[in-house]
A and B are shown apart, each in its own frame.
Chain A
Amino acid sequence: MRPSLLSRFTSFLFITPYLAAFCLFLLFPILYGIFISLHNFELLSTEHDFVGLRNYIDIFTPGTYTNSLFFRGLWATIQFVLFSVPLLIVTGLGLALLVNALPRKLRSLFRTVFFVPYALSASVMAVIWLMMFDTNAGFLNGLLAKLSLTGVPWLTDVPWAWVSLIVTTLWWTIGFNMIIFVNALNEVPDDYYEAASIDGAGAWHKFAHITLPSIRPVMLFVMITSTIASFNIYAQPFLLTRGGPGDTTKVLLMNVLDQAFIRKELGSASAMAILMALLIIIISIVQFKLTTGRKENAS
């Protein structure tokens, strides 16, 4: 049966607000960003010459300023992504399982507790964790000193700086992944588990053969959103390590923003941002293909 014209029009009406917002706040900025990236877009100049792919070519030409900005920053960002994404998934799922195993009354309390940091602003997060990580006056090193252990240079040495940034990120953002996983776990029908119990399956087998396959689509969603979020890392290193030690934790977005608003070169900054977006898209597609491909093999 074909939907009537009226009904189709009504449906269209319903998506219009979203469509308008999408065009205004996403589509237009993206297109404008691409437009800017093809120009010598110096913020304070009134004339912006069209330069074609010059900004992009410069980024890939060794020895140029934007080349070192982009690839040094990208390397730092990729390190962060590699460390953080697996932990964001595992910890999120772990917390969800823990919270779900609690008695009903405590469950909502702990869901809230773990979610609260997600609602904090970046500067509040930074103030809290600077106090925790302070080498000479911080809580963690104070604790270590009480145990007669030597302090750790949490923010001024590698790999500790990365450890600190990841711990902070987990604490700050894990609530989101946890809530998604909690909902996914609740969707798994109880009869599966009952049937498995009758067949004599233990907790591990239930988890590996029922829970994990059932939540695979959500897992993929969490993996992709976590990867995107991790690529966009900015506030944590900007406020905690300031890119240090040296420039080891100076991530790509910090460099993009320097280029855009300190150097005021919006053209090459946009080119850097668009390359970063392309990279994220490619990685998301690869993740999607890999995960869905495996599912087909399994079934």
Chain B
Amino acid sequence: MKKKPFNWLTLFLMVTALAVVLAGCSGGGNSNNGGADSGTNSGSDTGSGSGGKKTEILFWSPFSGADGPFMKKIVDKYNGSQDKYKVNFVIQPNGEYYKQLDVALSTAKESPDLVIMHVDQVPTYVSKGQLIAIDELASAAGISKADYAEAPVEYSTIDGKWYSIPLDIHPLVMYYNKDLFEKAGITEVPTNREQFDAAVQKLTDKDAGVYGYVVPTLWPQQFIFPTLVWQNGGELWNGSDVAYNSPEAAEMVDWLRGMIDSGISPANVQQDGENTLFLQGKNAIQFNGPWMKSQFDEAGLNYGVAPVPQIGKAKQAVYAGSHGFAIPKNVTDENVTAGIGDFLKYVSSNSMDWAESGQALASKPMLESEAFKALEFQSSVAEAFPYVQFAPNVLNWGTIVEPVWGELNNALLGKKDTQAALDEAVEKSRQAMK
């Protein structure tokens, strides 16, 4: 008896909830546009048909972080600068980007005309026939390979065809705490192993709880480990097989472990542990990506940035990622293609806003401009451009290399002997290659 009105209420709530869910679904196409593009995307599906109006270009990016507004500024300026084309800028959540992209590409509905793609993803998408070569579009728009940093252009040129126009390159860099450097009397930023080893020794101050270099055991080892292996003359991939159990690789892992054993780094550093200590002024040096800049600025740290020193004995090298523009295969409309060319030409000489986000630009005219040179941080990051390297150009590299991170974690936590850990990683990786 008592329960009757309650049931009506429940029913009402359920129906309402259902209505909301269904309403959400019918508008599904527009609701996954992410946060920052309010306004610009309205009417993206009207196409170019209506009365010789502007040709619309749907442009997808994963810039859901602090970097989104900077790219939006570029797009807005471009849209304001001419009235032939309209670029609709869409931000997908960073962690979901490739999932969303794969689904959009495989269903060919609401599919983007232009996408941001990390350069190391390009070979995979090319091997699946998902991207259009951009050589023609580039030459029609007056975009030349020579205008960009060599590494990403070479990497995205596959069988003589060019697939991606680079926007930026983000290599691993070295951040250091200037106050701690001064306190330890270090005036020169280390550039090689000898200087680095001496510096971290001096910087470590047990009584103050300060460490010279806190060794991460998880991310960003995905950037650090390849950097060290290449620097030491080793390879991740030898052309036909995984190669990270080489003596060159093991030597570098032992070098990292040595710092833990000698107290330059604490043991048992968990995810983000090195960064927390860096923010607290208890870790003097960390290797991380340029994307950390805004976090350090907000924390008010007195920090400096420099290229990663050459720790290995063979050569200077550094692992990097790179954002570039690519065009999905189902873009066939000539007007759209011409519009994309026009937009990319514009970006190549008007991307200072992107540099403001903390990224070092891949376009040479921009790199050589006075405006870019005035940006101390970004210019310092760009110093590494001549020797940056990207992930091996191997299909499914992401899952092939995956076992290394777990085994490297074992080795750095002292759970396994270095060589045994790397050998096991190679075993597991070979399984993933089948």
Contact = CB atoms under 8 A, between A and B. Distances in A.
Given A137-B277, A244-B217, A245-B415, A130 B270 contact: yes
Contact of B18 (A18, A46, A264): A18
B398 A262 contact: yes
B224 to A, nearest CB: 15
Contact of B276 (A17, A65, A134, A264): A134
A240 to B, nearest CB: 7
B399 A17 contact: no
A258 B399 contact: yes
Contacts of B124: 44
A250 interface: yes
A154 interface: yes
A146 B405 CA distance: 34
A246 to B, nearest CB: 4
A258 to B, nearest CB: 6
A24 B267 CA distance: 50
A242 B189 CA distance: 33
Contact of A155 (B99, B271, B277, B434): B271
B210 to A, nearest CB: 11
Nearest to B430: A65
Contacts of A25: 21
Interface in A239-254: 239-247, 250
Given A242-B219, A264-B102, A156 B128 contact: no
Contacts of A46: 106
A113 B62 CA distance: 37
A261 B431 CA distance: 18
B399 A262 contact: yes
Interface stretch (B37-45, B149-157, B406-414): B406-414
Contacts of B255: none
Nearest to A67: B431
B282 A244 contact: no
Interface residues of A, number: 44
A91 interface: no
Given A65-B432, A156-B268, A244-B218, A21 B102 contact: no
Contacts of B375: none
Contact of A244 (B25, B396, B406): B406
B99 A135 contact: no
| Most chain B C-beta atoms within 10 Å of own C-beta, residue among A64, A131, A242 | A242
B405 to A, nearest CB: 8
A115 to B, nearest CB: 19
B178 to A, nearest CB: 21
A272 B270 CA distance: 29
Contact of A246 (B22, B396, B415, B432): B415
A78 B11 CA distance: 38
B265 to A, nearest CB: 9
Interface in B384-406: 396, 398-399, 402-403, 405-406
B15 interface: yes
25 contacts: A14-B11, A18-B18, A44-B128, A64-B434, A68-B428, A134-B270, A134-B273, A136-B214, A136-B268, A136-B273, A137-B276, A137-B280, A153-B267, A153-B270, A155-B270, A156-B268, A242-B405, A245-B409, A246-B407, A246-B410, A246-B415, A246-B416, A247-B406, A258-B402, A263-B396
What are the nearest 4 A-B pairs in CB distance?
A153-B268, A155-B270, A44-B128, A246-B410
